[in-house]
Structure 1
């Protein structure tokens, strides 16, 4: 097991507010008076894995494009570990940007690269407000610092209760370059969204 993977597994051992919520990491809950996003829900779906593409050399992500969700955002934020060992999420002020978990691989390297973004915050809809429009087979494109673009195809959509977050499935080692995109989901409960929406994607170019 790689050191990067070990760090990720340690960080995700607690069922923290993992990603993408206005209430995550102590941020304010989504308030009833804030402009509402579409329902924070995806239908579980799985497609056959895409044909494997050759891994890319390490290069940090600088921009993320998800055409199906109307996302074209950058620069990408670097997210590490908070003092309590949980994974950082973008601040509410950066709700229009996506972050990359920098203790893991970069998008295109062998292993699971992890991107995190808000669905909504107390200020209203955020960068991943239209994540429910994404379907299996859709592309996620990650521009990298070396000038290359890693193109991923969505293979699986999953919505899970944060209390049973699939840590090993998301952060566990893989034999090919893969991507995970994580945000929040579910209907609001006391201003918080109880679920995580997770997209799993394979490198195709």
Structure 2
């Protein structure tokens, strides 16, 4: 069962939760807003994108979000991924390190806002990244989700300002509460319009431990950035802190 299914359930319950699901999955839409000056962070080139063969499998049909006006294309479903053995209790992430862009910071835990969307770190301190605690913990099977701002209300650059400068082969270290470090290798860096955010590709269930780093990007209009940058990474190993 994917983490999306666990979160929203099936059948009538899932239909009742559809509005919250859309807000949660369409994209992390408020990662930067409320300030006057738009920064221009690095953007991923086509050469940094995921290879076609490396695109993650979408989630099982039970996790498919509803089609909306903001996401009019119906996403085809695929067979359920191979079942995994029961996971041991997860060690929660406490810090993230991305040497290539100078990120070394503790992590906060994020839940859901009252409207069902993913909470975001405080805009008053855009240097703080957060792990979405309803996604898998880094190192568990599935896509662990960490979000951060590119800037904030103070005008300072955010923790993920340079996320678009990452390239395949770069690494991300996530320190966990059991004093181990999960090491991820970046597979690709993509930029998506929020209006056509590929929900299943980003958040869908996977058969191995993966990581998603997400921030806003693109033009700043109507108090929102119009795009998102998503970094895809795969666990390559763990070691003691």
Give the shorter-chain TM-score range: 0.7 to 0.9
CA contact (8 A) 2:29 2:194 kept: no
8 A contact 2:112–2:119 mirrored in 1: yes
1:31 equivalent in alignment to 2:40: no
* Equivalent pair of 2:124/2:153 in contact (CA under 8 Å): no
Looking at structure 1, the residues matched to 170 and 29 of structure 2 have their Cα atoms a distance apart, in angstroms, of 22
Match of 1:199 among 203, 211, 231: 231
Q: Who is 1:141 aligned against?
A: 173
SS in 1 for 2:221: coil
1:46 Cα shift? 2.2
* Counterpart for residue 52 of structure 1: none
Alignment pair present for 1:171 and 2:207:
no
2:4 equivalent in structure 1: 5
Return the TM-score normalized by structure 2: 0.71
Instruction: For residue 204 of structure 1, give the secondary structure of its aligned residue in structure 2.
Output: strand
CA distance in 2, matches of 1:92, 1:56: 34
Structure 1 unaligned residues grouped into runs of 5+? 50-54
Residue by residue, what CA displacement relative to the aligned partner does 1:38-68 show, whole Å, maximum 9, x if unpaired?
A: 435222412576xxxxx98611000000111
- CA displacement at 1:20 relative to structure 2: 6.2
Say which structure, 1 or 2, has more relative contact order (CA 8 Å, 6+ apart).
Answer: 1
CA displacement at 1:37 relative to structure 2? 3.8
Give the conservation status (yes or no) of the 8 Å contact 1:112–1:173.
yes
Matched position secondary structure for 1:115:
strand
In our comparison, the structure showing a higher alpha carbon Rg is 2
Give the drift of 1:100. Answer: 0.5
1:112, 1:99 → 2: CA distance? 14
Q: Tell me by how many angstroms 1:190 deviates.
A: 4.0
Find the counterpart in structure 1 of residue 68 from structure 2. Answer: none
Match of 1:160 among 172, 176, 192: 192
Alignment partner, residue 130 of structure 2: 99
**Structure 1, 61-70 or 186-195: larger mean CA deviation:** 186-195
Q: How many residues align?
A: 190
Secondary structure of the structure 1 residue equivalent to 2:90: coil
Q: Write the distance in 2 (CA, Å) between the matches of 1:138 and 1:86.
A: 30
SS of residue paired to 2:201: helix
State the 1:178 CA deviation.
0.2
Q: Does the CA contact (< 8 Å) of 2:164 and 2:229 recur in 1? A: no
In structure 2, distance between residues paired with 1:143 and 1:37: 30
Unpaired runs of at least 5, structure 2 = 9-13, 55-86
Distance in 2 separating the partners of 1:20 and 1:72: 23
CA contact (8 A) 1:13 1:167 kept: no
Please point out which of 37, 40, 43 is paired with 1:41: 43
With normalisation by structure 1, the TM-score equals 0.83
Give the CA RMSD over aligned residues: 2.3
